[in-house]
Amino acid sequence: MGAEMRQVVLKIAFDGGAYHGFQLQPGAVTVQQRLEEAASRLFSKERVVMHGCSRTDAGVSAREFYCTFAVETALSPAKIKLALLALLPEDITVYDCYFTEAGFHPRFAAQSKRYSYTIRNTPSRDPFLGRYQYSYYRKLDEKRMDAAAQLFVGRHDFRGFMSAGSSVLDTVREVYECTVRREGDLLRMEIEADGFLYNMVRIIAGTLVYVSEGKIALSDLPGIIASGRRELAGPTLPGRGLCLERVNLAPHRCDRGEERCLEEEQNRRG
């Protein structure tokens, strides 16, 4: 069979410790850059353009992430996967590869995303896993933090939990689940929502730390969420504790042109 234009979808995972996030940035090494370099070498093109299911910040990892690109090829998905694995650095892997309909974009197809934030709550840091954890030396109350986490569940305007610099206009999101549990020396927050604002998970995590410390009263948290005032919430914790755990995709085709779809999605979810 000869070469045909194909819409390729990759299911990947990456250790974000060496990267300035997924999306291309001038003067910085990103996951998208490494994927595009590998695909461009494979298909002998000047540049293959990747589109991801989400932006990520510097140092953030992903256990499940989807990206897509269009290319003319006669290779099967299995051969594309094996070839990319050989070309990619060891901190990026490809779990699956398949073809889909033209116009598919994983960012538009993401119905929900699930993140975790991990805090190492001991007087010393871990020299082996420190790049995946935020070390916090004072004792944290996971039960109090979990009670506070439940207050984020539901449909809210989260503009007070968004860092400056975002151009997103619609700041309403629905959080399906938000929990905190202790696993030995580690505290793990998990949150799933239909979308997230810029630094939203890291700010929620910082707010829960403030609740544990008594800097924010549990009874005041609903009012802080409703106020939309960033200065009332907690700090933005470092990116290294954050991991994108899962992305729930639904088939979606953008028939209005990619630029229009990107604009609409940016205004809606970020």
97 has which bridge partners?
A: 10
Within 10 A of 49 (CB to CB), how many other CB atoms are there?
14
Nearest-angstrom CA–CA distance, 94 and 73: 18
For residue 145, the SS3 value is helix
The two structure tokens encoding residue 185 = 């020396």
What local confidence, expressed as pLDDT, does residue 251 receive? 66
CB 128 within 8 A of CB 111: no
Q: What is the C-alpha separation between 123 and 53, in angstroms, rounded?
A: 37
| Cβ–Cβ under 8 Å, residues 159 and 197 | yes
> Which three-class secondary structure string do you get for 184-245?
CCEEEEEEEECCCCCCHHHHHHHHHHHHHHCCCCHHHHHHHHHHCCHHHCCCCCCHHHEEEE
Provide the CB-side half-sphere exposure for 136 (13 A, CA).
27
Q: What is the full per-residue pLDDT of the chain (270 aa) written as tens digits?
A: 578 999 999 999 999 999 999 999 999 999 999 999 999 999 998 899 999 999 899 999 999 999 999 999 999 999 999 999 999 999 999 999 999 998 898 988 999 999 999 999 999 888 888 889 999 999 999 999 999 999 999 999 999 999 987 778 899 999 999 999 999 999 999 999 999 999 999 999 999 999 999 999 999 999 999 999 999 999 999 999 999 999 999 865 444 444 444 555 555 444
**pTM of this structure:** 0.89
Question: How many angstroms separate the CA atoms of 189 and 125, rounded?
Answer: 19
Would you state the pLDDT for residue 168?
Answer: 86
Which residue has 């989807």 as its token pair? Answer: 66
- What does the pLDDT read at residue 1? 59
Active-site hit among 15, 57, 141, 170: 57
pLDDT at 259: 47
Look at residue 17 and give its three-state secondary structure: helix
Residue 61: phi and psi, rounded to 5, are -105, 170
Q: Is residue 57 among the annotated active site residues?
A: yes
Long-range contacts of 257-262 (CB under 8 A, 24+ apart): 258/105, 261/105, 261/108, 262/107
